């Protein structure tokens, strides 16, 4: 039987937790490094936690169900998941990437990736012609963020899949901003999906995690082999925290999106706000494409204020909203991308993308929206 998304978040693919010892309703934490063998040549199915662990397996199965993946591996961080993805490729392979990309992704590509002999080009993947023009003879993968971080560019994933088929390429999508609740890239043609599970999936700003999901059967065994070899596996306790976070994913995403829309509309009325970047606003350039490939706009807002002084004053004066890196938790966070998430991106690239001294990013939480607006109002005064 196939269950609705909200039910899968809580129960996975079953309605009763009959498989758990002693009838435990919550998933037990198997805090063990190793497992005993029933006999020589026999196994319970679990041998060593670096390879597999029952708590983590439960989480991975849940994520595979939510993303409609063939398989999922849970990693220590989102960066570990991206590093694992890179291991699938060889020296000389070329990637075409969204130019407005999380700064940590750019850092790992331009340092570790290039050290391994991989090559990277960055283009506006919302522009299909520019994306096609960047493809080379040695291109192997199109790496997409949509919405992008932090300027919220939208890439048409169905069009990207057609382009990939034309040149025999793979497609990887960072789905951190929308989560599988609002967007399922594998159903739109992606071969791989990566997540920073630290963000919306965990949802409480209390643990680090990452996921690599694949819809391509040819890569399941390869990923599992590299995964156990590199040892980037999520711990049993952190797996438990992610399972607990997933249970409320749907209700959190709905409330966060509801709050974000009201805040985005309010920001547009403020004299010190020059521009608002929110995919849920009908005049956003990617609004129609996003609406056609997702079921929501999420709760990430970026905005440009009238000066660097206003930006810094807001960061110093917010009281309820926290000035901090990260996103996707129940608490609202405001970030200064120029100094924080995109500090490693070259200045000329940042400024061309609009990530300047007057640019801020807001991750909207589940607090009462009137309290959040009041906090922004006093910080902008």
Cα first-last separation, the chain: 55
Give me the catalytic one of 30, 71, 100, 102. 102
Are the C-beta atoms of residues 259 and 369 closer than 8 Å to each other? Answer: yes
Are the C-beta atoms of residues 74 and 63 closer than 8 Å to each other? Answer: yes
Beta pairing, strands 322-323 & 333-335? parallel
Give me the catalytic one of 71, 100, 156, 174. 174
Q: Is 50 one of the catalytic residues?
A: yes
Q: Rounded to the nearest 10 degrees, what angle do helices 308-317 and 369-380 cross at?
A: 130
Judged by DSSP in three states, 119 sits in: strand
Q: Is the dihedral of CA 113, 115, 118, 119 positive or negative?
A: positive
What secondary structure letter does DSSP report for 303? E
What secondary structure letter does DSSP report for 234? P
Q: Is 167 one of the catalytic residues?
A: no
Instruction: Show the beta-strand stretches assigned E in the chain.
Output: 71-75, 94-98, 119-123, 139-145, 170-174, 192-196, 210-214, 273-277, 300-305, 322-323, 333-335, 359-363
Q: In what order do the strands lie in the sheet with 322-323?
A: 273-277, 300-305, 359-363, 333-335, 322-323
Are the C-beta atoms of residues 101 and 149 closer than 8 Å to each other? Answer: yes
What secondary structure letter does DSSP report for 277? E
Give me the catalytic one of 56, 161, 184, 199. 199
Give me the catalytic one of 3, 46, 50, 167. 50
Are the C-beta atoms of residues 185 and 155 closer than 8 Å to each other? Answer: no
Catalytic residues: 50, 102, 174, 199
């Amino acid at each position: 039987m196939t269950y609705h998304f909200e039910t899968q978040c809580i129960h996975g693919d079953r309605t009763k937790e009959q498989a758990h010892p002693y009838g435990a309703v919550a998933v037990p934490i198997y805090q063990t490094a190793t497992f005993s063998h029933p006999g020589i040549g026999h196994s319970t199915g679990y041998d060593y936690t670096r390879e597999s662990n029952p708590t983590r397996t439960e989480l991975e199965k849940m994520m595979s169900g939510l993303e409609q993946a063939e398989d999922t591996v849970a990693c220590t961080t989102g960066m570990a998941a991206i590093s694992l993805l890179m291991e699938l490729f060889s020296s000389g392979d070329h990637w075409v990437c969204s130019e407005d990309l999380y700064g940590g992704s750019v850092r790992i590509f331009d340092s570790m990736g290039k050290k391994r002999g991989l090559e990277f080009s960055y283009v506006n993947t919302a522009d299909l012609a520019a994306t096609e023009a960047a493809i080379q003879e040695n291109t192997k993968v199109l790496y997409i963020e949509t919405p992008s971080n932090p300027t919220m560019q939208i890439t048409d994933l169905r069009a990207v899949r057609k382009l990939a088929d034309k040149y025999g390429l793979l497609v990887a999508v960072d789905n951190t901003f929308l989560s599988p609740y609002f967007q399922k890239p594998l159903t739109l043609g992606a071969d791989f999906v990566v997540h920073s599970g630290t963000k919306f999936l965990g949802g409480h700003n209390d643990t680090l995690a990452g996921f690599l999901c694949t819809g391509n059967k040819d890569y399941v065994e390869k990923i599992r082999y590299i995964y156990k070899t590199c040892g980037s596996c999520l711990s049993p306790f952190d797996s438990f925290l992610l399972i607990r976070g997933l249970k409320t994913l749907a209700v959190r995403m709905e409330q966060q999106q509801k709050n974000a829309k009201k805040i985005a509309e309010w920001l547009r009325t403020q004299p010190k706000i020059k521009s608002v970047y929110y995919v849920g606003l009908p005049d956003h350039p990617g609004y129609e494409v996003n609406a056609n490939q997702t079921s929501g706009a999420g709760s990430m807002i970026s905005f440009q204020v009238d000066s660097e002084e206003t930006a810094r004053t807001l960061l110093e004066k917010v009281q309820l909203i926290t000035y901090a890196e990260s996103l996707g938790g129940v608490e609202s966070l405001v970030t200064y991308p120029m100094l924080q998430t995109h500090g490693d991106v070259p200045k000329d690239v940042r400024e061309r993308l609009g990530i300047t001294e007057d640019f801020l990013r807001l991750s909207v939480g589940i607090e009462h929206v009137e309290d959040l607006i009041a906090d922004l109002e006093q910080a902008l005064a």
